[in-house]
Amino acid sequence: MLTSLLRKMYRLFRYPKVIDPFLSKFTYPIKKNGVLPTLFLNKPSLDHFNYYYFSTNSVNKPLFDKILIANRGEIACRVIRTAKKLGIKSVAVYSEADKHSLHVKMADDAYLIGPAPSSESYLNIDKIIAVAKESSSQAIHPGYGFLSENPNFAERLANEKIIFIGPPASAMISMGSKSESKDIMIAANVPVVPGYHGTNQDPQFLKEQASKIGYPVLIKAIKGGGGKGMRIVNDPSEFEIQLESSKREAIKSFADDQVLIEKYLETPRHVEVQIFADTQGNVVHLFERDCSVQRRHQKILEEAPAPGLSNEIRQELGAKAVAAAKAVNYVGAGTVEFIMDNKDKRFYFMEMNTRLQVEHPVTEMVTSTDLVHWQLEVASGNPLPMTQDELCLDGHAFEARIYAENPENNFLPDTGPLLHIRTPSLSSNIRLETGFEQGDEINVYYDPMIAKLITKGANRTEALRKLRKALQEYEIVGLNTNIEFLKRVFSHPAFIQGEIETGFIKKYETELFAPNPEVSSYVIAQAALSLILKEHQELKKVTIGSFDPYSPWTSYFGYRPNATYERNILFHDQNDDRISADVKYLQDNSFDITINRGKDNSIKFERVTGNWDEAEKQIITDVGGIRFKSRIVMEDNNRIVIFDRVGNLLHS
């Protein structure tokens, strides 16, 4: 009996499998040519399963005891969660602006490294290395951004005998230069966009190359990123102006004004492939992601797999991405980005990001992997957890980036406190990555991304439906966000059909930036009643314990001797339209509410009733025979936000 039990336990940890909570036995879900390397721990509900990976290699080296995360925000929290799951201690670093941040609270240890500006904190290599030594951290995870693609940082760590959880510096150098990387890709038989990638920067020579390539062309800074130093040129007459503009931005952003010239695809898609490599020479791809919907050349939503691709194209994309990684002896997590012509589906190498991408969760969702765990395994000297044959796609996933920004003002970043946050209900198929809590503040020093909302479904339609519902449940008050804009994108017929390209927002800007619909009179009635009920509740708090708590002035709402309680409340909605609400209290504790939108445009609701729930900040009303349940958030600046199926209303 004991021998049989020990044999089962050995097989459980030696080979990945699933514990079925309903069958109460071990099952082996075969996916393609391998076993799905995931252990589902027995939980009360399938919606709350946690994913754990157990290596199939019995001679693996031990993982680190302690790592330092040289980053902040959601990616720092993301790395800390996996570290905790694996029993690895985590060390956070933080600036003075981040002393109360979530990643500081989550880490086992946290060290202040300087003032708010990144150059004095998160980009200060000497301070970060000093903290790593003081905290006895064996390795440093750079996250993304900041020092994640800095070869000098990787080399310094190697000299200090601290492991960099990322690729070798040589790979960063090769792939960090757009011109050098193109030459490497050509040698590796990876398709590249026709263009000039040489060192001759004479303006007249570059203009001649543009004419040979054929307009329109794209001018790109060789060390660019995030759309900086990128200019589209449609005609020879504007070439010199755009070249000068590109070089000016490149020198400011990257201290290097060298550019390359490429053919500009007019209906492009941004398709990228997640690759992973270990120190034993193994390289795999974890399929592709589509990141085509962008604003200001920066991604705002991603999905995996890319819609509308045949299996043949998918396999070819993966093979070319693996070839690209092998060409630079890559190690760790990386992303090979391709630009794809949406007409003929031909694709061309664009660049390689030598780090974990912001959008990596969609890949994790459709491959049942933990890519941070993979990074830790590889950095520890272990082989990749899975072979290419064991990897397979399962379902479809979306990621929506929640930004503090104003889409109606050219997506201008916003700052301010997060006065109210209410997140969607989470499960194994609805995931939220964030580095902020209610009460935190978005400041001017760092990227304005608040969170990433990720959903998974059996197919694209189901995943999109879950995402739309989750966005409807997501509430943020205190500053402008792109949530409402994302709802419009995900509800657009072209997006639903998978007809996406990098010019999606520009192409459909009329629909995506249409004026806000008129706020429903039902919503205005709720807003008016919520203000009155909340004021009465506050009044009751003040009078509790008074000399006469049973006074009709306070115990009966709307009590006025020989008079009827009436109130006029003025509102301004999202379109700044002026709306007034006349509220009259009736003796049966109901209200008559008349909504006025100008001359000869009014509607009256009779005998409206409502209850204010202070704990949930919610009002439950009966308006015109219809029962509503809405969340109300009141700000100090006389702004009231109502969350329901309609939207929000401003009160002043």
pLDDT tens sequence across 19-45: 333 333 333 333 333 333 333 333 333
Instruction: Please give the Cα distance from 316 to 113 (Å, whole number).
Output: 45
DSSP 248-267: HHHHHHHS---EEEEEPPSS
The DSSP symbol for 96 reads: G
How do residues 557-595 score in pLDDT, each as one tens digit? 554 554 568 999 998 887 778 899 999 999 888 999 999
For 336, residues 6+ apart whose C-beta sits below 8 A from its C-beta are: 272, 273, 275, 320, 321, 324, 325, 349, 352
Beta bridge pairs of residue 302: 399
Cβ of 206: how many Cβ atoms within 10 Å?
A: 20
Instruction: Please give the Cα distance from 623 to 548 (Å, whole number).
Output: 34
Across the range 290-300, mean pLDDT stands at 94
Across the range 402-409, mean pLDDT stands at 96
Q: Which one has a higher pLDDT value, 571 or 553?
A: 571
Task: Please give the structure tokens belonging to residue 425.
Answer: 């209900």
In this predicted structure, the answer to whether residue 416 has a pLDDT above a threshold of 90 is yes
In this predicted structure, the answer to whether residue 548 has a pLDDT above a threshold of 80 is no
Task: Please give the structure tokens belonging to residue 170.
Answer: 């040589």
SS (H, E, C) 407-462: HHHCCEECCEECCEEECCCCECCEEEEECCCCCCEECCCCCCEEEEEEEEECCHHH
Pairing of strands 163-164, 139-141: parallel
How do residues 628-646 score in pLDDT, each as one tens digit? 989 888 887 678 888 876 5
In this predicted structure, the answer to whether residue 431 has a pLDDT above a threshold of 70 is yes
Residue showing tokens 């992303």: 335
The whole-number pLDDT of residue 546 equals 55
The whole-number pLDDT of residue 624 equals 86
Of 36-50, 432-446, 453-467, 488-502, give the lowest mean pLDDT range. Answer: 36-50
In this predicted structure, the answer to whether residue 133 has a pLDDT above a threshold of 70 is yes
Strand, coil or helix: 640: strand
pTM: 0.83
The whole-number pLDDT of residue 553 equals 52
Instruction: Please give the Cα distance from 636 to 652 (Å, whole number).
Output: 11
Beta bridge pairs of residue 405: 413
The DSSP symbol for 518 reads: P
Across the range 200-224, mean pLDDT stands at 93
Instruction: Please give the Cα distance from 303 to 363 (Å, whole number).
Output: 8
578 is catalytic: no
**Nearest residue to 93 (alpha-carbon basis) of 130, 65, 145:** 130
Instruction: Please give the Cα distance from 95 to 117 (Å, whole number).
Output: 8
Cβ of 534: how many Cβ atoms within 10 Å?
A: 17
Instruction: Please give the Cα distance from 607 to 610 (Å, whole number).
Output: 10
Rg (CA), the chain: 29
Across the range 85-92, mean pLDDT stands at 98
Of 13-22, 61-70, 303-312, 420-429, give the lowest mean pLDDT range. Answer: 13-22
Strand, coil or helix: 219: strand
For 463, residues 6+ apart whose C-beta sits below 8 A from its C-beta are: 303, 395, 396, 397, 398, 455, 456, 457
Task: Please give the structure tokens belonging to residue 60.
Answer: 């693996």
For 444, residues 6+ apart whose C-beta sits below 8 A from its C-beta are: 413, 415
Of 101-105, 252-256, 415-419, give the lowest mean pLDDT range. Answer: 252-256
Kindly report the length of the chain. Answer: 652
Say if residue 67 is exposed, middle or buried (CB neighbours under 10 Å; 0-12, 13-18, 19+): buried
How do residues 138-155 score in pLDDT, each as one tens digit? 999 999 999 999 999 999
Contact 554, 537 (CB under 8 A): no
Instruction: Please give the Cα distance from 459 to 606 (Å, whole number).
Output: 47
Q: What angle do CA 530, 567, 588 make, to 5 degrees?
A: 70
The whole-number pLDDT of residue 16 equals 40
What H or E segment, with its residue span, contains residue 465? helix 460-473
Instruction: Please give the Cα distance from 478 to 623 (Å, whole number).
Output: 28
In this predicted structure, the answer to whether residue 8 has a pLDDT above a threshold of 70 is no
In this predicted structure, the answer to whether residue 88 has a pLDDT above a threshold of 70 is yes
The DSSP symbol for 563 reads: S
Cβ of 68: how many Cβ atoms within 10 Å?
A: 30
Pairing of strands 217-221, 139-141: unpaired
The DSSP symbol for 516 reads: P
The whole-number pLDDT of residue 1 equals 46
In this predicted structure, the answer to whether residue 56 has a pLDDT above a threshold of 80 is no
How far is CA 281 from each of CA 23, 97, 249, 278, 285, rounded to the nearest angstrom?
A: 40, 42, 39, 6, 14
Write down the catalytic residue from 355, 401, 431, 631: 355
Percentages helix, strand, coil for the chain (3-state, rounded to 5) are 30, 30, 40
DSSP 169-199: HHHHHHHHSHHHHHHHHHHTT--B-SEE-SS
pLDDT band with cut points at 50, 70 and 90 for residue 228:
confident
pLDDT band with cut points at 50, 70 and 90 for residue 53:
very low
Residue 648: what residue type?
N
Instruction: Please give the Cα distance from 501 to 227 (Å, whole number).
Output: 16
In this predicted structure, the answer to whether residue 89 has a pLDDT above a threshold of 80 is yes
Instruction: Please give the Cα distance from 93 to 114 (Å, whole number).
Output: 9
Contact 455, 430 (CB under 8 A): yes
The whole-number pLDDT of residue 102 equals 98
> What is the distance, to the nearest Å, from the Cα of residue 114 to the centroid of all Cα atoms in its chain?
27
How far is CA 406 from each of CA 390, 402, 421, rounded to the nearest angstrom?
A: 43, 11, 18
Phi and psi for 83 in degrees, rounded to 5?
Answer: -60, -45
The whole-number pLDDT of residue 42 equals 31
Residue showing tokens 């979306």: 398
How do residues 483-534 score in pLDDT, each as one tens digit? 999 999 999 999 999 999 999 999 999 999 998 888 889 999 999 998 888 8
The whole-number pLDDT of residue 48 equals 34
Across the range 233-248, mean pLDDT stands at 95
The whole-number pLDDT of residue 542 equals 63
The whole-number pLDDT of residue 32 equals 36
pLDDT band with cut points at 50, 70 and 90 for residue 551:
low
For 622, residues 6+ apart whose C-beta sits below 8 A from its C-beta are: 608, 609, 610, 628
The whole-number pLDDT of residue 182 equals 86
In this predicted structure, the answer to whether residue 610 has a pLDDT above a threshold of 50 is yes
Strand, coil or helix: 113: strand
The whole-number pLDDT of residue 4 equals 44
Contact 357, 292 (CB under 8 A): no
In this predicted structure, the answer to whether residue 340 has a pLDDT above a threshold of 50 is yes
Burial 471-508 (b: 16+ CB within 10 A, else e): beebbbbbbbbbbebbbbbbebeebeeeebbbbbbeeb
In this predicted structure, the answer to whether residue 619 has a pLDDT above a threshold of 80 is yes
The whole-number pLDDT of residue 549 equals 56
In this predicted structure, the answer to whether residue 106 has a pLDDT above a threshold of 70 is yes
Mean pLDDT (the chain, rounded):
87
